[in-house]
């Protein structure tokens, strides 16, 4: 009898260890929220491969799409948590987040998410949430672009609403100062270090001239590269200049690497909010230096910060729903 009890105890210990290794418990206001690795292993085993395939195809057709899908996840999580609210379309009696200033004529990739959701619904209906699709597509975009991989923790539910006001106020703008950046990241539960690491996402993608117009004035201090400035001025002075696109990273715009930080030290940060990390604050400059010197340290910190961001304000259990169509509430 005693031997059986010992064996039972050992079995329970092993089960608890295995569960702990696949689940991340985040406490928000003393409420435990559990996200789980391999959540869809039994209910939708093809989920991650389906998402990866669509992201890989989209990025192969348009290298900018990697940055766009990564950005969708950012803009979702910064507004009331990672709940898929950014995907909701406006209706006659509902205003979503797509027309908020940081998102309007800027966010892309909605059709890719639609395609992923459509296939998932045909394979395993009402199983994989739109919020989980966003988190996974963001990871896959980084991996496909040469960046680090991580196990995406699943279990998010989709929101029943959205907030244009929160999208307008919470998402950091391209002209943000360091204090504003720090405050906006801290407001959602992300640290100073998270802010520097996650800013490295700007190693991918492009931005319109209208978002960095203050960089074109020539009054950017001694750190700006003059050739870089002149090239930007030439690009943005053309007809339809405000809508012209410039690469956030001139050297390797389609590769996820640490070149973004090297560019900042050379005075070639495209957005004012990027260059401010070097020019306006000693602490941020030191972290930029460390990431410029050590790409593996950047990769590790970026991965950890993405996991942290991905768990912000998530809806689980009986909260929220799993939308059949990511653009509308069921």
- List of E strands, the chain: 23-28, 31-36, 206-208, 245-247
Q: Does 85 appear as a known binding residue?
A: yes
What percent of the chain is helix, strand and coil (3-state, nearest 5)? 55, 10, 40
What's the rounded Cα separation, in Å, for the pair 51 and 56?
9
Helices 47-61 and 64-77 cross at an angle (nearest 10°) of: 130
Q: Identify which of 37, 204, 59, 253 has the alpha carbon closest to the alpha carbon of residue 137.
A: 59
* Residue 73 annotated among the catalytic residues of the structure: no
- 202 annotated ligand-binding residue: yes
Residue 194 labeled ligand binder: no
Q: Is 97 annotated as a binding residue?
A: yes
Q: Annotated binding residue at 28? A: no
Local structure of 212: helix, strand or coil = helix
Q: Is 274 annotated as a binding residue?
A: no
Residue for token pair 């309007």: 104
Residues 33/114, Cβ–Cβ less than 8 Å: no
Q: Is 324 annotated as a binding residue?
A: no
90 is in an annotated binding site: no
Q: How do beta strands 245-247 and 31-36 pair? A: unpaired
Where is 5: in which H helix or E strand?
A: helix 2-22
| 188 labelled ligand-binding | no
Alpha-carbon distance of 54 to 137, in angstroms, equals: 9
Which one of the listed residues 64, 71, 73, 75 is annotated catalytic?
Answer: 75
CA distances from 100 to 21, 140, 248, 261 (A): 39, 26, 22, 29
Residues annotated within a binding site for Ca(2+): 76, 79, 81, 83, 85, 97, 203, 249, 257
Residues annotated within a binding site for substrate: 172
Residues annotated within a binding site for heme b: 202
Give the residue numbers annotated as catalytic, written as ranges. 75
Residues annotated within a binding site: 76, 79, 81, 83, 85, 97, 172, 202-203, 249, 257
């Amino acid at each position: 009898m005693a031997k059986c009890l010992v064996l039972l105890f050992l079995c329970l210990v092993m089960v608890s260890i295995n569960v702990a290794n696949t689940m991340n418990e985040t406490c928000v206001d003393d409420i435990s929220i559990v996200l789980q690795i391999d959540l869809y292993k039994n209910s939708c085993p093809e989920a991650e491969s389906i998402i990866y395939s669509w992201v890989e195809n989209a990025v192969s057709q348009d290298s900018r799409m990697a940055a766009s899908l990564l950005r969708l996840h950012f803009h979702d999580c910064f507004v009331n948590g990672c709940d898929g609210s950014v995907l909701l379309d406006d209706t006659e009696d509902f205003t979503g987040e797509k027309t908020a200033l940081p998102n309007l004529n800027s966010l892309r990739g909605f059709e890719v998410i639609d395609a992923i959701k459509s296939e998932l619904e045909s394979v395993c209906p009402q199983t994989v949430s739109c919020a989980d699709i966003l988190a996974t597509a963001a990871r896959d975009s980084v991996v496909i672009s040469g960046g680090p991989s991580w196990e995406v923790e699943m279990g998010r539910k989709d929101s029943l609403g959205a907030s244009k006001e929160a999208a307008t106020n919470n998402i950091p703008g391209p002209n943000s100062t360091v204090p504003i950046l720090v405050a906006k990241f801290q407001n959602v539960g992300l640290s100073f270090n998270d802010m520097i690491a996650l800013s490295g996402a700007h190693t991918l993608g492009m931005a319109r001239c209208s978002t960095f117009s203050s960089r074109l004035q020539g009054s950017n201090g001694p750190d700006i590269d003059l050739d870089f400035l002149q090239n930007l001025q030439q690009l943005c002075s053309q007809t339809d200049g405000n809508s012209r696109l410039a690469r956030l990273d001139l050297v390797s715009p389609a590769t996820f690497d640490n070149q973004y930080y090297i560019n900042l030290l050379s005075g070639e940060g495209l957005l004012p909010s990027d260059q401010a990390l070097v020019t306006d604050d000693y602490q941020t400059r030191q972290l930029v230096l460390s990431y410029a010197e050590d790409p593996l340290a950047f990769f590790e910190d970026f991965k950890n910060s993405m996991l942290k961001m991905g768990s912000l304000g998530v809806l689980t259990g009986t909260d929220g729903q799993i939308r059949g169509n990511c653009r509308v509430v069921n």
